[in-house]
Amino acid sequence: MSRVIKIRRGLDIRLTGSAEKIYHVAERSSTYAVKPPDFPGLVPKMAVHPGDRVKAGSVLFFDKQLPEIKFCSPVSGTVKSVERGERRRIMEVVIEADRDLQYIDFKPAKSSDLNRDEIIQKLLDSGLWPTIRQRPYAIIARPGKRPRDIFISGFDTAPLAPDMDFIVKGKNEDFQTGLDVLAKLTDGEIHLSLEDDYPADSVFAKAKNVKLYYFNGPHPTGNPGVQIHHIKPVNKGEVVWYVGPQEVIMIGKLFRKGVYDALKVIALTGSEIKRPVYYKLISGASIEQLISNNVTPGNHRYISGNVLSGSGITSTGHLGFYDNQVTVIPEGDHFEFIGWATPGFRKFSASRTFLSWLFPGRKYKVDTNYNGSQRAFVMSGEYEKVLPMNIYPVHLLKAILADDIERMENLGIYEIAEEDFALCEYVCTSKIEVQALVRQGIELMIKEVES
């Protein structure tokens, strides 16, 4: 019998603008991008130059430290530009897409006919290896290490998150093929986590080669890190891998069709979207076609991902590699008279600061305003209410600030990622950039412990 795990700590941020469960056809994007900042710890080295012709599956750049890990173009076309930021850091490689896509043929294969090394090599060559991430550190999995277990989260609890059951519906064969491939990469088990509130789609419920778990609770219950913590935590010296459902499907399509097919389903969400729906598009697509004539007038924040842990992009920016949604909310660039002291019937609060707590079912329109400035980092007890892990978050963050490696290890640095602390940042009375601090600690651990 499948295990049910109830999570009590956390917070559901109820926002307006959830996507209606219908597919909408958007005009194909003229440009696509692969963005090195989507991959923490990556030091990219270019394999192409502006003007070069590529096919879907052609290598654009690779990891300078681990050159076997390649990052490939999701479409065929011409390399339009290599966008750089501060200190000439590569921010994105933009491809101008062909009208008719051409794919590199990686040859279909059955996982049962290949050994583990051959499967890994196929994933590396096709550019699909980056779909597999690891804990500790929430980075791309290291091909040379064998994972204790592999985890897949079959649902997402972030604000306005897409319905994974709706996204994977009808993709039984590709999903199962992907699972069969992953099963050969570990001597342990594949743990598939589902939501307990309603029956899962048959793609998940009838999956083989997996151990099913059902979760019930508020965000961040859908985060892989929280699920790993409650199913089988990561100890020092251990490595586990995790993969998203759509990435499992991409792996399945690679082995069934022999091509790098980056087609995915995303949800267009947010209070400023006139018609929030689901779109089928290729990973890395520009959002320009999605929002054309579909946003309200005004100054908006465009986010690839969710409002808590997504990345800000422009109105012509590109979808992130791991993101399954685009969110559009107002910019918080206005002055508010007496701020938090107003009654706040239409303001969401994690505490009872505003009278809106009297209306538990109401949904809210939020903006990016900090509603305060940074102040002393004090013990408030707020973090513990929204982090459903048996760790001391403030103590861990202060250990990171002090560069105390031993204390960071003892306090759970191996189990966490930025997204697990996103709610801590949201409720923080000190306005600390908690997620950036978590990544700072992880990078220190990689430098001091792994090198």
User: What is the tens place of the pLDDT at every residue in 292-321?
Assistant: 999 999 999 999 999 999 999 999 999 999
The answer to whether residue 385 scores a pLDDT higher than 60 is: yes
Q: What is the pLDDT of residue 337?
A: 62
- Distance, in Å, from the CA atom of 78 to the CA atom of 60, rounded to the nearest integer, reads 11
Kindly list the domain boundaries of the chain, sorted by start residue: 3-257, 265-358, 382-450
The answer to whether residue 360 scores a pLDDT higher than 80 is: no
* Sequence-ordered list of residues with C-beta below 8 angstroms from that of 406, at least 6 positions apart, any chain: none
Q: How confident is the model at residue 358 (pLDDT cuts 50, 70, 90)?
A: low
More confident residue, 118 or 26: 118
The 3-state DSSP composition of the chain as helix, strand, coil percent (nearest 5) reads 30, 25, 50
Residue type at position 324:
N
The stretch 412-416 carries a mean pLDDT of 97
- Distance, in Å, from the CA atom of 128 to the CA atom of 178, rounded to the nearest integer, reads 12
Q: Is the pTM of this model over 0.75?
A: yes
The answer to whether residue 342 scores a pLDDT higher than 70 is: no
* Sequence-ordered list of residues with C-beta below 8 angstroms from that of 11, at least 6 positions apart, any chain: 218, 219, 350, 385, 386, 423, 426, 427
Residue 409's H or E segment, with its range, is helix 405-410
- Cβ of 293: how many Cβ atoms within 10 Å? 6
CATH class of the domain defined by 265-358: alpha beta
Return mean pLDDT, the chain: 94
The stretch 270-275 carries a mean pLDDT of 96
The stretch 51-75 carries a mean pLDDT of 98
Q: What is the pLDDT of residue 408?
A: 97
The stretch 123-134 carries a mean pLDDT of 98
Q: How confident is the model at residue 448 (pLDDT cuts 50, 70, 90)?
A: very high
Q: What is the pLDDT of residue 333?
A: 76
The stretch 174-183 carries a mean pLDDT of 98
pLDDT over 70 percentage in the chain: 95
Q: What is the pLDDT of residue 379?
A: 79
